[in-house]
Amino acid sequence: MSNPAAESIATVQPPAPPWRIAVNRVLFRGMLFTMGLIAVVLYQFSHNLAWRFAKAQARVLARVCGVRVRLSGLDKLGGGPYIFTPNHQSHFDIAALLGYLPGNNRFAAKKELFREPVLGLVLRTMGMVPIDRGDSEESIRRLRRIGDDGCSTIIFPEGTRSPDGRLQPFKKGAFVAAIELGMPIVPIVCHGTHEVMPKGRYLSILPGDVVVKVLEPISTEGMTYEDRDRLRELTFGRIADALAELA
Task: Report the pLDDT value the prediction gives residue 225, as an integer from 0 to 100.
Answer: 96
Predicted confidence (pLDDT) per residue in 73-91, tens digit: 999 999 889 999 999 999 9
What does pLDDT average to in each consecutive run of 10 residues of the chain (247 residues)?
42 62 71 87 96 95 93 94 97 95 94 88 93 79 93 96 94 96 98 88 82 98 97 98 95
By the 8 A CB rule, do 204 and 21 touch? yes
Strands of the sheet containing 185-191, edge to edge, are 67-72, 208-214, 185-191, 83-86, 153-154, 106-110, 129-131
**Residues 11-22: pLDDT tens digits?**
445 666 676 667
Which residues partner with 129 through β-bridges? 108
**Is-contact 131 174, C-beta < 8 A?**
no
Spans of all domains in the chain: 16-246
Q: Name the CATH code of domain 16-246 (choices 3.10.110, 3.30.1330, 3.30.70, 3.40.1130).
A: 3.40.1130
Q: Which residues pair with 72 in a beta bridge?
A: 213
Query: Is residue 202 within 8 Å of residue 17, measured between CB atoms?
Result: no
Question: What is the spatial distance between Cα 114 and Cα 59, in angstroms, rounded to a whole number?
Answer: 24
Specify the amino acid at residue 202.
Answer: Y
pTM for the model: 0.88
